[in-house]
């Protein structure tokens, strides 16, 4: 996993981490974007012609309670220009925040301001991957959009000074990259990662804009071995509060949403419960509606949650 790989004009490359605390109280998601795919500024720039994705880079962090508690809960996503980006094989800096591989651990140093209230979000998230898969999946018919589950199981430590918070838990690390806008290649997608035993299940269902679906059902072992399995039965979850349609797969056709993490007009991330590997348990789930993201009314709303800075 390198940070200096090329990114196509109008394209993107991102690295994604999520984790749930051992005590069941907290969750966190961190996404480093080169070509911020859900940025209205990037979408507007692409309409004018070929655009440098590095000029639309961001570190997104969402910190949330998973037990219904009220605080702390933070959201930040500040897009920055190419002059604020520095990258090497093992280091990626976006503005005041940075990702750095240190031997066998990924250290993420966060120094951001939340949206829309400007609260400080500062500290370190350290990811210790259990194993690397070496697996890459082609999501689009043209092969222009790809996904890599680098490490479906990891130990993650969160050490924040603002807000003051420390915890550890089970986590996940993956990455996506593409040679064009996501909304041009897909109409929607649903993704789920479910830790079970000492491995994980990952489900991916993407509706391609040119027609048809990309469906993946993977069982990944502790050593990183990837095994394609028969997709479990499809089941529908209740729509998000914004009305985003959500679906997943479960061996007994049963699933339920336990806690909403992110609820946007075109995107929903949640903690759900499913049956996979013969075991009911928690899963991190997301649904994306690209048609909604394309809508001008939605694009006009996004600057209230996504800031733009030169550096």
Full DSSP string of 163-222: TEEEEEEEEEEEEEEESS-HHHHEEEEEEEEEEETTEEEEEEEEEETTSSEEEEEEEE-T
Could you tell me if 79 and 42 are in contact, meaning their C-beta atoms sit under 8 angstroms apart?
Answer: yes
Q: For residue 232, how far is the Cα from the chain centroid?
A: 23
**Burial label, 77 (beta-carbon count in 10 A; 0-12, 13-18, 19+):** buried
Give the N- to C-terminal CA distance of the chain in Å, as an integer: 25
- Average pLDDT (298-307) is 90
Residue found by looking up tokens 């590997």 in the block: 277
User: Is the confidence at residue 112, as pLDDT, over 80?
Assistant: yes
Tokens read off for 100: 């750095």
User: Is the confidence at residue 126, as pLDDT, over 90?
Assistant: yes
Q: Domain ranges in the chain?
A: 12-303
- Average pLDDT (150-177) is 97
- What CA–CA distance (Å, rounded) separates 150 from 160? 25
- What CA–CA distance (Å, rounded) separates 40 from 169? 33
Could you tell me if 72 and 61 are in contact, meaning their C-beta atoms sit under 8 angstroms apart?
Answer: no
For residue 71, the model assigns a pLDDT of 64
For residue 292, the model assigns a pLDDT of 96
For residue 69, the model assigns a pLDDT of 73
- What CA–CA distance (Å, rounded) separates 92 from 2? 9
Cα radius of gyration (the chain): 18
Could you tell me if 187 and 208 are in contact, meaning their C-beta atoms sit under 8 angstroms apart?
Answer: yes
Note the pLDDT tens digit of each residue in 208-260: 998 999 999 999 999 999 999 999 999 999 999 999 999 999 999 999 999 99
Q: Which of 72, 103, 100 is nearest to 15 (CA)?
A: 100
The pTM assigned to this predicted structure is 0.96
- Average pLDDT (15-39) is 96
| Residues contacting 59, CB < 8 A, separation 6+ | 30, 31, 32, 33, 76, 77, 78, 94, 95, 97, 110, 112
**Percentage of the chain modeled with pLDDT above 90:** 89
For residue 34, the model assigns a pLDDT of 98
Angle at 309 between CA 125 and CA 122, to 5 degrees: 25
For residue 28, the model assigns a pLDDT of 96
- Length of the chain counted residue by residue: 311
For residue 311, the model assigns a pLDDT of 62
User: Is the confidence at residue 162, as pLDDT, over 80?
Assistant: yes
**Burial label, 117 (beta-carbon count in 10 A; 0-12, 13-18, 19+):** exposed
Q: Chain-wide mean pLDDT for the chain?
A: 94
- Average pLDDT (37-59) is 94
User: Is the confidence at residue 68, as pLDDT, over 80?
Assistant: no
For residue 245, the model assigns a pLDDT of 97
Tell me: cis bond preceding 253? Omega within 30 of 0 counts.
no
pLDDT band with cut points at 50, 70 and 90 for residue 72: confident
Q: CA separation (Å) from 294 to 24, 44, 286?
A: 36, 11, 18
H or E, element range at 43: helix 40-46
User: Is the confidence at residue 116, as pLDDT, over 90?
Assistant: no
User: Is the confidence at residue 169, as pLDDT, over 80?
Assistant: yes
Could you tell me if 76 and 113 are in contact, meaning their C-beta atoms sit under 8 angstroms apart?
Answer: yes
Tokens read off for 198: 């000492």
Number of H helices, E strands in the chain: 4, 22
**Percentage of the chain modeled with pLDDT above 70:** 99
For residue 67, the model assigns a pLDDT of 81
**Across the strands, what pairs with 273?**
256, 282
Note the pLDDT tens digit of each residue in 78-108: 999 999 999 999 999 999 999 999 989 999 9
For residue 9, the model assigns a pLDDT of 96
């Amino acid at each position: 996993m390198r940070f200096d790989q090329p990114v196509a004009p109008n394209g993107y490359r991102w690295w994604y981490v999520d984790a749930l605390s051992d005590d069941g109280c907290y969750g966190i998601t961190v996404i480093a974007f080169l070509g911020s795919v859900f940025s209205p500024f990037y979408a507007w720039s692409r309409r004018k012609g070929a655009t440098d994705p590095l000029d639309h880079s961001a570190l997104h962090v969402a910190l949330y309670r998973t037990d219904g508690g009220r605080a702390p809960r933070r959201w930040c996503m500040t897009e920055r220009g190419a002059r604020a980006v520095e990258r090497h094989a093992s280091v990626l800096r976006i503005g005041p925040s940075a990702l750095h591989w240190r031997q066998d651990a990924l250290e993420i140093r966060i120094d951001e301001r939340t949206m829309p209230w400007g609260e400080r979000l500062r500290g370190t998230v350290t990811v210790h991957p259990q194993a690397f898969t070496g697996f890459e999946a082609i999501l689009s018919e043209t092969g222009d959009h790809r996904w890599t589950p680098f490490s479906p199981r990891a130990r993650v430590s969160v050490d924040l000074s603002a807000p003051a918070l420390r915890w550890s838990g089970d986590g996940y690390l993956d990455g996506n990259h593409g040679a064009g806008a996501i909304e041009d290649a897909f109409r929607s997608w649903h993704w789920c990662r479910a830790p079970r035993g000492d491995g994980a299940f990952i489900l991916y269902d993407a509706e391609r804009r040119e027609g048809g679906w990309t469906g993946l059902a993977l069982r990944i072992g502790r050593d990183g071995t990837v095994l394609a399995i028969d997709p479990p039965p499809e089941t529908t979850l209740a729509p998000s509060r914004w009305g985003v349609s959500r679906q997943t797969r479960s061996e007994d056709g049963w699933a339920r949403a336990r806690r909403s993490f992110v609820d946007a007009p075109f995107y929903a991330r949640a903690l759900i419960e499913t049956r996979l590997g013969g075991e009911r348990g928690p899963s991190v789930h997301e649904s994306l509606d690209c048609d909604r993201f394309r809508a001008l009314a939605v694009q006009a709303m996004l600057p209230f949650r996504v800031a733009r800075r030169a550096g």
